């Protein structure tokens, strides 16, 4: 697709409607939330002093700036809508930071707390304050935020807390007015969209046949009736991070594919006793660079989609062959327009996933968002740690993670369900992942 020069700023402004129907992945997230909360929880670990009043003022300033932080959702059955200018203040709960890991329990609790869609807003905040330190735990309903806008929003929040003006500060009057699907290339709309869907469904049928054929005799993961989200923050050493970046350039394989391969290899070794097993892997694809208008980084919205790949993983297989296989599969999905189709078809897919009580949507899920380009010094306080976790459900992946580069290290935030494994099992897979990466880069 050619590079687009049209931006939201160059499009003639239109009067903001009082409401807008949810579409695509937004709708799928609302469907999911009726069964299990579909949240994103971000944890900011601070050293130094931040007054609660400064955090309150910063939240209020953000809410005045962003239309989606002032929105609620009216669930009108088959036609749910964003209701703009209909939400109260962003809630801020203050508490004491009992230990250095108090934020973990708070984040796990927030992953399981549903939003009041009718009342809004779709963001809330906790501040665990200690002596010369503190943790800010922010929860979003996933339909209003993606990785790109979340990082920018975090930076703006911390700048406001420090009494600084946020970077950029462009016009956000268009925020939330259009879903991602309204900005898709022309070939993924109208009659051409129907043809693309037909081709996509054909490829999915073929993939399902391949997966079932090669899954004979392979462990089938259990689908529990219920499970609670648990988190495991992992930091890979700076030396390994540097080695991975060098290997990525040398082998011409993306870090996303490298880290996905390491996760899949570690999961296969820990959870699947077979010498080889086909695993389903979920990739979170960024739509912002692939739509018909440039979407500013500071504009909130869920401009992402989930693409599922089927990959054969061999216990003693070549690591770089696995990484290239993942990269090639991701590339094929992109060239075929699967990211657009997955977004638009996600409501129906989500209903199917929730209705099938005996199948898991995948074994693994991974997203690498690149460097978190945030300042670390904010006057009276410093940002020491940055973590993010999305909710999961019992029909979702067995092991998932969001990763980023921060302060020279690769931070990998693992999420699992207590019905699938205990903390020791989750750590075993994370250690196996690190071992695989060290072996591949030595």
Give a yes or no: residue 233 inside a domain: yes
167 pLDDT tier (thresholds 50, 70, 90): confident
Give a yes or no: residue 344 inside a domain: yes
Q: Is 169 left (phi over 0), alpha (psi -120 to 50) or beta?
A: left
**Residue 322 CA: distances (Å) to CA of 216, 257, 362, 432:** 21, 9, 17, 16
Amino acid 8: pLDDT: 54
Give a yes or no: residue 156 inside a domain: no
Amino acid 2: pLDDT: 38
For 106-142, how does the pLDDT look when each residue is reduced to its tens digit (9 = 90+)? Answer: 999 999 999 999 999 999 999 999 888 999 999 999 9
Reduced to 3 states (helix: H, G, I; strand: E, B; else coil), residue 155 is helix
Give a yes or no: residue 166 inside a domain: no
Amino acid 135: pLDDT: 97
Give a yes or no: residue 378 inside a domain: no
377 pLDDT tier (thresholds 50, 70, 90): very high
For 220-246, how does the pLDDT look when each residue is reduced to its tens digit (9 = 90+)? Answer: 998 999 999 999 999 999 999 999 999
User: Which residues, including other chains, have CB under 8 Å from residue 202's CB and lie 6 or more apart?
Assistant: none
Peptide bond into 121 cis (omega under 30): yes
Q: How far apart are CA 102 and CA 117, in angstroms?
A: 27
Q: How far apart are CA 348 and CA 164, in angstroms?
A: 44
Sheet holding 92-96, edge to edge: 92-96, 123-130, 133-141, 39-48, 381-390, 377-378
Give a yes or no: residue 289 inside a domain: yes
199 versus 325: which is more confidently predicted? 325
Amino acid 77: pLDDT: 67
Q: How far apart are CA 43 and CA 103, in angstroms?
A: 7
Q: How far apart are CA 294 and CA 6, in angstroms?
A: 6
Mean pLDDT over 208-219 rounds to 93
Give a yes or no: residue 88 inside a domain: no
Q: Rounded to 5 degrees, what angle do the CA atoms 48, 49, 52 make?
A: 145
Give a yes or no: residue 24 inside a domain: no
* Total count of domains within the chain: 1
Amino acid 419: pLDDT: 96
Computed over its alpha carbons, how large is the radius of gyration of the chain? 21
Burial 303-317 (b: 16+ CB within 10 A, else e): bbbbbbbbbebeeeb
Q: Does the pLDDT at position 17 exceed 80?
A: no
Q: Does the pLDDT at position 1 exceed 90?
A: no
5 pLDDT tier (thresholds 50, 70, 90): very low
When mean pLDDT is compared across 2-11, 73-82, 109-118, 301-310, the lowest value belongs to 2-11
To 10 degrees, the CA torsion angle through 7, 12, 18, 22? -40
Tokens describing residue 113: 């707390």
10 versus 245: which is more confidently predicted? 245
Q: Does the pLDDT at position 202 exceed 50?
A: yes
Tokens describing residue 61: 């300033």
18 pLDDT tier (thresholds 50, 70, 90): confident
Q: What is the pTM of this model?
A: 0.92
CATH number of the domain within which 269 lies? 3.30.559.30
**Which residue segment(s) compose the domain that 272 sits in?**
190-368+412-441
For 23-55, how does the pLDDT look when each residue is reduced to its tens digit (9 = 90+)? Answer: 999 999 999 998 999 999 999 999 999 999 999
For 404-435, how does the pLDDT look when each residue is reduced to its tens digit (9 = 90+)? Answer: 999 989 999 999 999 999 999 999 999 999 99
Mean confidence (pLDDT) of the chain: 91
Q: How far apart are CA 389 and CA 108, in angstroms?
A: 9
């Amino acid at each position: 697709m050619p590079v687009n020069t049209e931006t939201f700023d160059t499009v003639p402004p239109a009067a903001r409607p009082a409401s807008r129907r949810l579409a695509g992945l937004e709708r799928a997230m609302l469907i999911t939330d009726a069964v299990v909360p579909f949240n994103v929880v971000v944890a900011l670990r601070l050293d130094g002093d931040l007054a609660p009043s400064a955090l309150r003022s910063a939240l209020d300033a953000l809410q005045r700036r962003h239309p989606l932080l002032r929105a609620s959702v009216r669930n009108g059955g088959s036609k749910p809508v964003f209701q703009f200018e209909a939400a109260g203040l962003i809630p801020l709960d203050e508490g004491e930071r009992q230990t250095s890991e108090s934020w973990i329990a708070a984040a796990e609790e927030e992953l399981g707390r549903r939003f009041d869609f009718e009342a809004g807003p779709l963001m809330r905040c906790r501040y665990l304050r200690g002596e010369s330190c503190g943790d800010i735990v922010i929860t979003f309903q996933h339909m209003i935020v993606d990785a790109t806008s979340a990082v920018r929003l975090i930076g703006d929040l911390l700048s406001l807390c420090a009494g600084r003006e946020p970077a950029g500060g462009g016009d956000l009057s268009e925020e939330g007015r259009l879903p991602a699907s309204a900005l898709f290339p022309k070939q993924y709309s109208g009659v051409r969209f129907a043809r693309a869907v037909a081709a996509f469904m054909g490829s999915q049928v073929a993939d399902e046949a391949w997966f079932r054929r090669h899954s004979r005799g392979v462990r089938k993961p259990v689908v529990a009736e219920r499970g609670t989200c648990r988190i495991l923050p992992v930091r890979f050493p700076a030396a390994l991070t540097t080695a991975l970046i060098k290997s990525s350039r040398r082998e011409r394989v993306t870090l996303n594919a490298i880290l996905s391969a390491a996760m899949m290899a570690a999961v296969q070794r820990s959870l699947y006793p077979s010498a080889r097993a086909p695993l389903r892997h979920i990739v979170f694809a960024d739509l912002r660079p692939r739509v018909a208008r440039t979407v500013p980084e500071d504009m909130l919205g869920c401009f992402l989609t989930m693409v599922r790949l089927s990959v054969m993983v061999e216990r003693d297989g070549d690591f770089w062959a696995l990484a290239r296989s993942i990269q090639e599969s991701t590339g094929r999905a992109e060239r075929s327009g699967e990211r657009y189709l997955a977004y638009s078809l996600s409501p129906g897919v989500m209903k199917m996933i929730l209705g099938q009580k005996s199948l898991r949507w995948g074994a693994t899920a991974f997203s690498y968002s690149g460097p978190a380009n945030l300042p670390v010094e904010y006057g009276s306080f410093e940002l020491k740690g940055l973590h993010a976790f999305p909710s999961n459900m019992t029909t979702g992946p067995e092991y998932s993670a969001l990763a980023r580069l921060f302060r020279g290290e690769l931070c990998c935030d693992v999420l699992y369900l207590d019905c699938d494994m205990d903390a020791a099992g989750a750590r075993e897979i994370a250690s196996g992942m690190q071992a695989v990466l060290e072996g591949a880069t030595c």
